[in-house]
Structure formats: C-alpha cells, structure tokens
Amino acid sequence: MEYKEIYEDSIAHPEKFWAEQADAIEWYNKPETILSKDENGYPLWYKDGELNICYLALDKHIQDGCGDQVAFIYDSPVTQTVKKYTFSEVKTEVAKLAGGMQSLGLKKGDTAIIYMPMIPQTAFAMLACARIGVIHSVVFGGFAPHELAIRIDDCKPRAIITASSGIEVDRLIAYKPLVDEAIALASHRPKKVIVFNRKLGARIPFKKYDVDYDALVYGSEETPCVPVNSNHPLYILYTSGTTGKPKGIVRDTGGYAVALKFSMKYIYNVKEDETFWAASDMGWAVGHSYILYGPLLNRNTTIIFEGKPIKTPDASTFWRIISEHKVGTMFTAPTAIRAIKKEDPDGEFIKQYDLSHLKNQFLAGERCDNATLEWYQQHIPIPVIDHWWQTESGWPMIANSLGIEKMPVKSGSATKAVCGYDIRIFNENGDELSANEEGLVVVKLPLPPGNMLGIWENEARFKAGYFTKFDGYYLSGDGGYKDEDGYIFITGRTDDVINVAGHRLSTAEMEEVVASHHSVAECAVIGIHDELKGQIPLALVVTKSGDEIEHYQLEQEIIKLVRQQIGAVASLRNVVIVHRLPKTRSGKILRKLMRSIADGEEFQIPSTIDDESIVEEIVTTLKKYKIGVYNI
Ligand code: COA
Ligand code: AMP
C-alpha cells in the first residue's frame, strides 16, 4: 500500500473512506448516514449507527472464541504484583460491576467520575460505565481535591468510583479523603461513592454515600451491553485550556471505535494477539485510547502499569516489562526516556534484557528532542516513531503510518498527516504558508471520526476556542511547519498551555492560584525549558506594596498553595519576585518575552513595551536564582 494514495483518497472522499472503515467493527445497527452535521454545522459521524464499545472490547472476542486470551497484564512494581486477566474474566467482572451500578440507579446518559490509580479496577470501572451507557470522566490521580471539585460541578456525576489509595514511588496516597474533600468543596452532590479497598492500610473515612466495590460486584448479576447511538458520549475528559477552567472534551462512541480500530492497524501496525503497551495513565487521553479502548478493540493484550520509568525500583523497569511480557509495540512520552537516560546513560540495564519482541517504539505527548531519539536508537535499534495528537483528537493526527507504508524518519518531525486529517500551516491572517515557513497548525473540516463531539455543556467555548479564528478549520493551538516533502514539524504551543513531563497544564490556572496569595499584587506563570520534564512552570510575582514577605517564605507558600489547589503534578518549584512585569502600553503581559529570556533564546523587545528597563531586571533576577538558561 502507498501512503500517498490512501491518504489522498481519505481527504478527497471522506464519506466513502470512513464508510469502509466502519465495516471493521460490529454494529447493532450499521450506520447508513456516514457524515452529517449537527445544528451548528459541526461534523457528526455515523449518526444513525448503534453499538456498544464494551461489547466490542470484550464480549465480541469471547464470542469469537478468544475468551482465554489475556486482556490485561497488571504490572505494579510499587506493590510487586503481576496479575493477568483473560477477556472472559474481565467481562465477568465488568458485567457484574455494571449490574451493580444499575442497582444503584445509574443508567444510560448519567455521568460518573472515576478517580483512581493505575489498577485493573480503573479499567473495569470505565468498561462497566460504557457497558450501560454511563458517561465516564476519569480524573487523573495527581489532581488535588479542588480540581476534582471543579470537575464534579461541571459534569455533575451521579456516582464517583475511587480506590482506597494510590502509590507514588514510595508514598501511599489515600484517595478516599481526597474524594470526600472534593465533594465537600463542590456544590453538586453525587449520590454514591463506590470505593475499591486495596487493603494497603490507607485510611478510608466512612460516609453515608459509600458503597464497597467488592461487595457490589459480589452481590450483582452480570448485565448485558446496552446499545447506544453512535454519537452517545462515551466519556468526558478534562484537559487544560487557556483559561483557569479545564475543558471537558466529549468523545462520541461510534466514530471513536472506528478511528481506534483504524489506528491500531494502519498507524501502529499491530496484529491481534500481540502485546501493546502504552506507559501512560488512564487519566490522560493516551490512557483512554491506547491503554484501554484501542488495544481491546483490536484484541491485543494491554498492560496496566503502576509505576514510573525510574525509581520503581530503578531505570530497568521498562525493559523488564517489555522482556517479561513480550511487548511488541510500546508507547511512551520522551520525558520518560530522558528520565531513564539520566539514570542509566550507557544503557547498562537495557543489555540485561531480551527485547527481541519489541518492533516499534512510539513517542508522543511533547516534542521529541534529537538527543533522546539518538540515545534510544543507539541502545535499541528499532524504529522510534514520534507522533502528534491531542486530547481533542483522541488519536494521532500526524504519524508515520506504519501499517500503510513505513516512511523514513526525520528527526524533529512527527512525519506526515494521518488519513482523514487535512493539515495546513496558516499565518495569523489565515493565509496558507509555504514549505518550511512556521505558523499555526490547523486542520480543515471535517475532522475525521474519533475527534471530540464538543466541550461538555459549553458550546460557546467549543466554537470560540477551536473554530472561530479560521472559518472551516480546527485551530490546534500548536505551531509548526511543513517541509517540501510534506513532513510536519510541531514546534510547540502558541497559547498558554504548557507541557510538563508529558502532562498538559494551564499557566492561566496556575496564575489564578498564585494570584490568590495574600502578598501577591500581580503575577505571571510561564513554561520554561527543563532538561528532564521538557517544560516546567515558573512564577514571576510582584508583591503588594509595603508587604515585606521574604522571598523564601513566599516561594514555599505559593508552592504549597499550587500543590493544594491544582496538585503535585503541576510541578511548580520556582517563584521569583520582580518589581514589575513586562507589559505592553495597553497592559498586556509579555509572557513570550519572559519565556525567551529564561530559555536563552534570541528575542526582540517589542516596540509596544511600556518600560524597557524591566527586561534587565528579569535577566538579573533569573541569574540570581539560577533559573532557566542561567541554571549553571
Ligand atoms: N497521584 C498522586 N500524585 C502524583 C500522581 C498521581 N497519579 N502522578 C504524579 N504525582 C505527583 C508525583 O509524586 C510528584 O510529586 P512530588 O513533587 O511530591 O515528587 C509530582 O506529582 C510530579 O510528578 P511527575 O510529573 O510524574 O514527576 P516525577 O518527578 O515523579 O517523575 C517522570 C518524572 C518523567 C519520570 C514522570 O513524569 C513520567 O514518567 N512521565 C511520563 C508521563 C507520561 O507518560 N505521560 C503521558 C503522556 S503520553
Ligand atoms: P494532550 O492533550 O495532553 O495530549 O496534549 C496535547 C499537546 O501535547 C499538543 O497540543 C502538543 O502541544 C503536545 N504534543 C503531543 N504530541 C506531540 C508531539 N509528538 N510533538 C510535539 N508536541 C506534542
């Protein structure tokens, strides 16, 4: 197969192309309308189709005689556990849990939040929701109760499913008190909290709304899959935007199932039966698409990994898992490889394991730097495939589509547009740029199946955030360029979203928290380059006049505040005090200028700046605290 031919066909004849791909999954009612539009003109896929994604992920494989195949391998170095679950075992547990949820009153169209660590019960909970048409919203465990409360108030769950605890390297994090705190902070009251007790000794304060997970499963009958319409929301996944409030990305069911199935075959080139491992967290888009739904739809064995690339117990963990479970395809973020490289620069651990089953290494979540790519290649000579996608898309938009035609890798490029994505580079005026000119990465509508249906109950933000700037195009928020061969290079966000260790975070949200400190008059949070995490946040604050707070005290208090309000995952470690922030004469804070100063990039002081002397003060301050490029 030739990439060019199949790609061009997908762009020229989207309906025909995606009608054919829809045949790769089983429907209760096959869609007759392939592509239509909603009342706002936004594309809808398979409008009249009916299916159930839990059926496709589990029951179908059992009916096809593959019930004894291992579906999940739970590998948890932090609890020293390896446990395997067959498709039949998973289906029994999921169908009973779904039955139990129904007995608690949960029904099609309700929402449920899942706030859990990386354990099989998280996957069971997601699948149980999907089985009965309950819309799940998984919240990453690294977020604090305040963040959880924001999500509770936004999607108003009828139930929350949680576990007694998570484990972060060597510390136990009791989840239940965090859930109770979030419920107390929120205005909406979920009816039930289903708690899976891991029996690791965490405190589980009892509340009237609690239901024990094990007792619920034990006492329930298996329930069948509930057919849902193709556009029935499968889940809401919150992601960071440019305001203080996260966006609830809504995913459909039918388009998503078709797109994931397509991607497993044509992008990842994975055959059924193989072991596929995405070392991410179920709380991110990668977790939803490539730990859970994608591999299961394709009848792959998938790994639920509870650990980190390093320190659990050391930098050999990835290689042990690949070798022990015969992983054929792996997916992680470049930051994880950088962490391993730092601990084991000569790849000594790699030599101790048989990695012969590993065919391809996929990377995403942030830009893949050349040094990481080279180090990997030097120690493991297999294709390292950078690919680009977003929570909004749910599956890759730019990739080396290995199942179609393997193209040569160009360092720094995620390769070419995936089938269905007509990717262009625009300038601010919406003119298409020529080869090698850097601009805004946009995608011509219609976006292919699998992309977001909307932002949960916020049509205005959906339109304004993505479709207003350029009529007929999706604005990705990333910058980049295309070379003369059509290879696309993503250069980074063009907005205030930052990427910390593969985690997408909003500086606007952090600014709100920093600004709430009683000594802060004004502040800006920017993302600056970090060797390990790609980017880390830096807060620049102006204190209230007459406030004599010590720098160290202010820094510690702000760090604590951000950890309390957003969560440890925000990784804010540096706070500096400046007399003023650089602004234009109209009062706009020049964040890009500060970022360039911290990263040591060439910069031009905008002619609109109200006071040029501030630039010198920022340089002096960053030098004093050894921050960014001055960290030497
Ligand atoms: N629950 C509670 N706390 C969590 C958490 C969770 N699920 N996940 C992270 N945290 C905490 C960490 O314990 C840490 O706390 P600390 O500041 O007290 O040490 C903080 O949040 C930052 O975590 P993290 O960003 O993971 O940094 P780290 O130093 O612990 O690990 C890496 C660094 C690079 C090893 C790690 O971030 C990593 O493996 N990244 C890959 C991410 C990834 O796969 N992303 C998916 C996109 S494809
Ligand atoms: P998320 O929505 O959490 O998946 O984060 C999406 C953002 O991560 C994108 O908008 C990019 O800024 C960044 N990103 C993801 N993959 C890549 C990649 N391969 N190269 C560069 N940036 C990436």
Average pLDDT over residues 78-83: 97
Return the DSSP state at 628.
G
Spatial contact of 514 and 585, defined as CB atoms under 8 Å apart? no
- Report the pLDDT value the prediction gives residue 346, as an integer from 0 to 100: 98
* pLDDT at residue 631 in the model: 83
Q: Are residues 459 and 518 in the same domain?
A: no
In this predicted model, what pLDDT tens digit does every residue of 362-412 receive, in sequence order?
999 998 999 999 999 999 999 999 999 999 999 999 999 999 999 999 999
Q: Does residue 342 lie within any of the structural domains?
A: no
User: Which two structure tokens, joined as six digits, stand for 513?
Assistant: 């928290």
Nearby residues of 329 by Cβ (< 8 Å), 6 or more positions away: 268, 269, 270, 274, 276, 277, 358, 359, 360, 362
| Structural domain includes residue 336 | no
Looking at residue 205, what is its pLDDT? 94
Helix (H) or strand (E) holding 129: helix 120-131
**Residue 604 pLDDT level (bands cut at 50, 70, 90):** confident
- What is the per-residue pLDDT across 518-550, written as a single tens digit (0 to 9) for each? 999 999 999 999 999 999 999 999 999 998 899
Residue 496 banded pLDDT, cuts 50, 70, 90: confident
CB 113 within 8 A of CB 76: no
d(CA 600, CA 528): 10
Closest CA to 293 of 599, 574, 13, 55: 55
Same domain, 52 and 155: yes
- What's the confidence (pLDDT) of residue 463? 95
Pair 329, 288: CB distance under 8 Å: no
- Which ligand 2 atom sits nearest the alpha carbon of residue 492? 12
Rounded to 5°, angle at Cα 528 from 573 and 618: 85
Query: At residue 632, does pLDDT exceed 80?
Result: no
**Which residue has the least CA distance to atom 19 on ligand 2?**
388
Which ligand lies nearest the alpha carbon of 290? 1
- Whether residue 412 sits in one domain with residue 547: no
What are the structure tokens assigned to 499, written together?
A: 């990427």
Mean pLDDT of 202-207: 94
Q: Are residues 25 and 56 in contact, defined by beta-carbon separation less than 8 angstroms?
A: yes
H or E, element range at 278? strand 275-278
331 CA to middle of ligand 2, Å? 14
Number of domains in the chain: 2
Domain boundary among 450, 480, 510: 480
Closest CA to 150 of 566, 628, 503: 566
Instruction: Determine the Cα–Cα distance for residues 627 and 632; give it in Å rounded to an integer.
Output: 9
Residue 322 lies in a domain: no
Q: What is the pLDDT of residue 231?
A: 98
Statement: residue 245 has pLDDT above 80? yes
- The average pLDDT across 319-342 equals 98
Q: What are phi and psi of 511, to 5 degrees?
A: -60, -40
| 3-state DSSP assignment of residue 352 | coil
Q: Would the CB of 288 count as within 6 Å of ligand 2?
A: no
Could you tell me which residues come within 8 angstroms of residue 191 by beta carbon, excluding any fewer than 6 positions away?
A: 104, 105, 158, 159, 209
pLDDT of residue 170: 83
Ligand 2 centroid distance, CA of 145 (Å): 26
Is residue 564 domain-shared with residue 429, that is, in the same domain? no
Question: Do residues 469 and 530 share a domain?
Answer: no
Distances (CA, A) of 407 to 265, 333, 364, 412, 418: 16, 21, 17, 14, 12
Instruction: With H, G, I as helix, E, B as strand and everything else as coil, classify residue 432.
Output: strand
Question: Bridge-partner residues for 583, per DSSP?
Answer: 589
CATH number of the domain residue 623 falls in? 3.30.300.30
Do 130 and 224 lie in one domain? The reply is: yes
49: pLDDT strictly greater than 90: yes
Residues 44 and 192 in one domain: yes
Ligand 1 centroid, distance to 50 Cα (angstroms): 38
The residue out of 446, 480, 514 marking a domain boundary is 480
Q: Whats the size of the chain, residue-wise? A: 632
Do 185 and 40 share a domain, yes or no?
yes
pLDDT band at 140 (very low <50, low <70, confident <90, very high): very high
Asked if 287 and 55 touch (Cβ cutoff 8 Å), the reply is no
Quick one: 473 and 510 in the same domain? no
Please say which residue of 480, 509, 533 terminates a domain: 480
Give the residue, out of 290, 337, 388, 395, with the most ligand 2 atoms within 8 A of its beta carbon, to mutate for a pocket test. 388
pLDDT at position 503 over 80: yes
Instruction: Say if 485 falls within a structural domain.
Output: no
Provide the pLDDT for residue 603. Answer: 87
Span from the CA of 498 to the centroid of ligand 2 (angstroms): 10
| Separation CA 472–CA 491 (nearest Å) | 23
pLDDT > 90 in the chain, percent:
95
Q: Which atom of ligand 2 is nearest to the CA of 414?
A: 19
pLDDT value of position 585: 92
152-176: average pLDDT: 96
* Cα 94 to Cα 243: distance, rounded to the nearest angstrom: 37
Q: Is 381 inside a domain boundary?
A: no
* Residue 321 CA to its chain's centroid (Å): 22
Whole-number average pLDDT of the chain: 96
Residue ranges making up the domain that contains 543: 501-630
Q: Which residues contact 362 (CB under 8 A, 6 or more apart)?
A: 268, 329, 330, 331, 332, 385, 386, 387
**Mean pLDDT across the stretch 140-167?**
97
For 328-411, where are the alpha helices, taking DSSP H only? 334-343, 348-351, 370-379
* CA 38 to ligand 1 centroid distance, Å: 39
pLDDT (0 to 100) of residue 451: 98
Q: Does residue 431 fall inside a structural domain?
A: yes
Q: What average pLDDT does the segment 496-517 reach?
A: 94
Supply the CATH number for residue 165's domain: 3.40.50.12780
pLDDT digits (tens, 9 = 90+) for 26-48: 999 999 999 999 888 889 999 99
Q: Judge whether 318 lies within some domain.
A: no
Q: Are residues 129 and 50 in the same domain?
A: yes
Q: Which residues line ligand 1 (CB under 6 A)?
A: 141-142, 166, 168, 173, 279-280, 284, 286, 308-310, 332-333, 335-336, 339, 364-365, 501-503, 568-569, 571
One domain for residues 73 and 115? yes
Residue 243's pLDDT is 85
The whole-angstrom separation of Cα 231 and Cα 46 is: 8
Q: What's the pLDDT tens digit per position in 418-456?
A: 999 999 999 999 999 999 999 999 999 999 999 999 999
Q: Please name the residue that has the structure tokens 């979920």.
A: 190
Contact 453, 248 (CB under 8 A): no
Residues 459 and 536 grouped into a single domain: no
CA of 502 from ligand 1 middle (Å) equals: 9
Structure tokens at 483: 């070379």
What are the tokens at 485? 């061969």
Within a 13 Å sphere around the CA of 48, how many CA atoms are in the beta-carbon half? 6
What's the rounded Cα separation, in Å, for the pair 389 and 387? 7
- Give this prediction's pTM: 0.97
Residue 405 confidence (pLDDT) = 97
Decide if 427 is inside a domain: yes
Six token digits for residue 625: 């605290």
Q: Which atom of ligand 2 is nearest to the CA of 503?
A: 3
Q: What is the pLDDT of residue 18?
A: 98
Output the six-digit token pair for 403: 């199942």
